[in-house]
Amino acid sequence: MAKYVAKRLLLTLVMIIIISFAIFVALNNTGVDPISFKLGLDNYTPEAAAELREKLGLNAPLVVRYLRWWKDMLSGNFGYSIAHGYSIRSGLIAKWPATLEISLTAMIVSTVIGIGIGMLSAIWQNSIVDYLGRMIAAIGNSVPEYFFALILIQLFSVRLQLLPTSGRVPAGAVTFWDRLPNLILPVAALAIPMCGNLMRYTRNTMLDVANQEYVKLARSKGIPEWKVYIKHVFRNSMRPVVTVLLFRMTLLLGGSVAVETIFSWPGVGQVLTQAITASDYSVVMLYTLMMAVLMLTISFLVDLFAALLDPRVRLDK
């Protein structure tokens, strides 16, 4: 087990280095010259550009600049937005808590509801719970987050006037209950599609496992049905479900870009949309790198879970 984890961890680190290098090279070759942005049209002269280039260290070889980039990042300096001049540390990194607040809440909510209803759907196959669950799953799977966001605003904010349309109450002096109304709609918009996906996946995997011979053997031991489902069916369905769940996390963060814009939620999604429209490549680069690191971390977690749940993975030489 320890050897397996160490191997995966090493692999993840190597992947991060390769991907970060690829991102660095790719964005360096986009043809967007940061210097012209920095100087602006009015001040641009070739001499001034060359001087600034030298000052910013842009004449150094690519590899040297790449290593410098990492060195700065590791010491907490993430650079500056080229278009707007803000430090990425305060402008992007500091926005993560707001994004994680809605996406993690959405993940927890959709995991509990999605897996829960998926399980019941499988146990009571072809019952009313199953039909309703499958209907919700079909809708959740086919309608994107931003569409739900618009419908939810229309219904709960405009028509019923129950919940605020947008904004975030920052953490601090206020209680959780003061902050909750602003959270509900964005979380719901993110959670519904994910919920649908997990429901369908949990149901289908469990039905698949329930038809296995070892489940029949478990029943032939005379153990009660709930034990059959928890110990034998659910446990063996967990591995694929956890894989889907964790990989949905990155989609959730991607989805939050649109949802944050709709709800004026001050998270990284908003920063990213601004950065893309302004060709603000240092911000885009860092966002891309963060997403890549997150994806690799999740991959690592998936492997870790697989090993914990399945001895065939754990004991593989």
Partner 1 sequence: MSDEIILDVKNLSTVITTDRVPVRIVKDVSFQLRRGRTLAIVGESGCGKSVTMQSVVKLVSRNYHITADHVLYRSFRSGAPKEYRLDKLAPYGRVMRSLRGPEISMVFQDPMMSLNPVYKIGDQVIEGLLQHNPGMKKREAWARALEMLKKLGIPAAEQRINEYPHQMSGGMKQRIVIAIAMICDPQIIIADEPTTALDVTIQSQIMELMKQLQTEDRKSIILITHNMGLVAEMADDVAVMYMGRVVEAGPIQAIFENPLHPYTQGLLKSVPVLGMARDKPLIAIPGSTPNPADLTEGCEFAGRCPYCEAACLRGVIPSFEAEPGHQVRCLRSAHGEVN
Residues that bind partner 1 (CB under 8 A): 212-214, 216-225, 232, 235-236, 309-312, 315
Alpha-helical (H) ranges within the chain are 2-28, 34-43, 46-55, 62-74, 88-91, 96-123, 128-142, 145-152, 176-210, 213-220, 225-227, 235-262, 268-277, 281-309, 311-314
- Smallest gap from Cβ 130 to partner 1, in A, equals 13
**Residue closer to partner 1 (CB basis): 15 or 218:** 218
Least spacing, CB of residue 223 vs partner 1, in Å: 5
How would you class 278 by CB atoms within 10 Å of its CB: exposed for 0-12, middle for 13-18, buried for 19 or more? middle
**Residues 264 and 166 sit within 8 Å (Cβ to Cβ):** yes
Query: Taking the complex as a whole, how short is the minimal distance between the CB of residue 152 and partner 1, in angstroms?
Result: 38
- The least distance separating partner 1 from the CB of residue 227, rounded to whole angstroms, comes to 8
Minimum CB distance to partner 1, residue 8 (Å): 20
Q: Which is closer to partner 1, CB of 197 or CB of 236?
A: 236
Between 223 and 294, whose beta carbon lies closer to partner 1?
A: 223
| Residue (94 or 218) nearer to partner 1, CB | 218
Q: Which is nearer to partner 1, 209 or 275 (CB)?
A: 209
Best CA proximity match to 110, nearest among 177, 201, 176, 181: 201
By CB atoms closer than 10 A (0-12, 13-18, 19+), residue 176 is exposed
CB 126, CB 209: distance < 8 Å: no
